[in-house]
Copies of this chain bind each other. A is one copy, B any other.
């Protein structure tokens, strides 16, 4: 493992400092709290949007703070959910009186800490609602597990909820579109190599030179199956089948896709995979109206990628196209 860092225990704080310095007009850093906030928060008459989780998934979540997406992102230690007091700081910083929606990925730690923060915020008279993203089809259903994990599809939820909030919708309405999105988003990932936590200093698991782990989580949690390395075409098909066979996709749907790099997979390969995914969806007679290809929700230095498929309707398609101005996603005006 080689990482460019100073003291590993300071890496999250130093990273957040670096992010703010790159875009001081957009972001404010609540030092000591791991919170990045829009400089203009709380925005008058707008529902506040907060997300967050462990660090190591950059650009998630700080890269998505800005007009049309999040109002604040809370960073925990690497792969560790942030604590309730930090989440509470974020909630307080973005509440304009119209209430706050927290977008949480379905992990025990995140859910517990966000729950506690919501209780604390409620005690201070802030209206807080929460949605839990669980797009990872690699995980068996909740009768056998904690339920499906939230992975890269979460970024689409940030996008649509952020757009709705930007349009001045009520907390109830913003929550409704977030939940509609969640019902229509599915993802699955694969790892070619493990990742290494800065403090641990050694890989989280091992893979042979010709082995891959299908169904990996974004923290290097083991997947569903270990196989030999497949071609881009076969690998895309393997993940896409699993995603597609899960509800709710049908021929004729208009869809958005994401090909998300896990940290070390070059854009060259992500684009080859994108081509294969489009071919697959064309065969299924779906029209891909929006493609996000790049790094959105990473796992430190892991090589690999995830595919996300988002079934749109008119409302969702227009929310996805709504202008956005964050470090990692910027378009429209």
Contacts and interface: CB of A to CB of B under 8 A. Distances in A.
A64 to B, nearest CB: 12
A15 interface: yes
Interface string A1-34: 1111110000100111111011100000000000
Interface in A257-308: 263-275, 278, 288, 291-293, 295, 298, 300-301, 303, 305
A4 B264 contact: no
Interface residues on A, range: 35 or more
A274 B333 contact: no
A272 B4 contact: yes
Contacts of A298: 266-267
B193 A2 contact: yes
How many copies of the shown chain assemble into the complex? Answer: 2
A56 B266 CA distance: 8
A145 interface: no
A248 to B, nearest CB: 24
A43 interface: no
A326 to B, nearest CB: 11
A18 B273 contact: yes
Contacts of A56: 266, 268
Interface stretch (A89-97, A98-106, A229-237): A229-237
Contacts of A4: 192, 232, 235, 265, 269, 272-273, 305
A23 B272 contact: no
A2 to B, nearest CB: 4
Give the interface centre of A2, A6, A209 by most chain B CB atoms within 10 Å. Answer: A2
A231 B4 CA distance: 6
A240 to B, nearest CB: 14
A291 B14 contact: no
Contacts of A267: 58-59, 63, 295, 298
A273 B11 CA distance: 10
Given A2-B229, A21-B274, 18 more contacts: A2-B192, A2-B210, A2-B303, A4-B265, A4-B269, A6-B233, A6-B272, A11-B268, A15-B271, A18-B275, A21-B278, A21-B288, A22-B274, A22-B292, A55-B268, A56-B268, A264-B266, A264-B303
| 6 smallest beta-carbon distances between A and B, as pairs | A18-B271, A18-B275, A58-B267, A264-B264, A18-B274, A333-B333
Interface of A: 1-6, 11, 14-19, 21-23, 55-56, 58-59, 63, 192-193, 209-210, 212, 229, 231-233, 235, 263-275, 278, 288, 291-293, 295, 298, 300-301, 303, 305, 330-331, 333
